[in-house]
Amino acid sequence: QKEVEQNSGPLSVPEGAIASLNCTYSDRGSQSFFWYRQYSGKSPELIMFIYSNGDKEDGRFTAQLNKASQYVSLLIRDSQPSDSATYLCAVNRKSSGNTGKLIFGQGTTLQVKP
């Protein structure tokens, strides 16, 4: 079992729709959770992070965390073609002696069709 799992997709949604991206993790000691967006040939850019159970909203993006179910998701409202990219879920386990180590999922490719 991978530590961080995502459906590789592609996930295809029409422009203006809500895109829902999901991520599960295996280590219950995980403390913080990140969503990154990566365009082809570019490095990842941070969208948002979440530490506490519940929802966190930032503009068109909402992250949802459920530690009991070991599940984190990202909702993108009013999806735009420019949102087409690979979305990476990352988890910070803060394993001993290595603060800040991020474990990445394989990423979900999102396609927003005009």
**Given candidates 74, 107, 110, 112, which one binds other proteins under the rule CB under 8 A?**
107
Q: Can you tell me the distance from the alpha carbon of 65 to that of 1, in angstroms, rounded to the nearest whole number?
A: 20
**Given candidates 35, 73, 85, 105, which one binds other proteins under the rule CB under 8 A?**
105
Q: How far is the CB of 86 from other proteins (least distance, A)?
A: 9
The pair of three-digit structure tokens given for residue 37, joined into one six-digit string:
């967006």
Q: Which of residues 3-62 bind other proteins (CB under 8 A)?
A: 32, 34, 41-46, 49, 51
Size of site (CB under 8 A) for other proteins:
23
Which 3 state secondary structure label does DSSP give 66? strand
Query: Please, which residues have CB within 8 angstroms of residue 54's CB and are 6 or more apart in sequence?
Result: 64, 65
Between 19 and 88, CB nearer to other proteins: 88
Amino acid (1-letter code) at residue 32: S
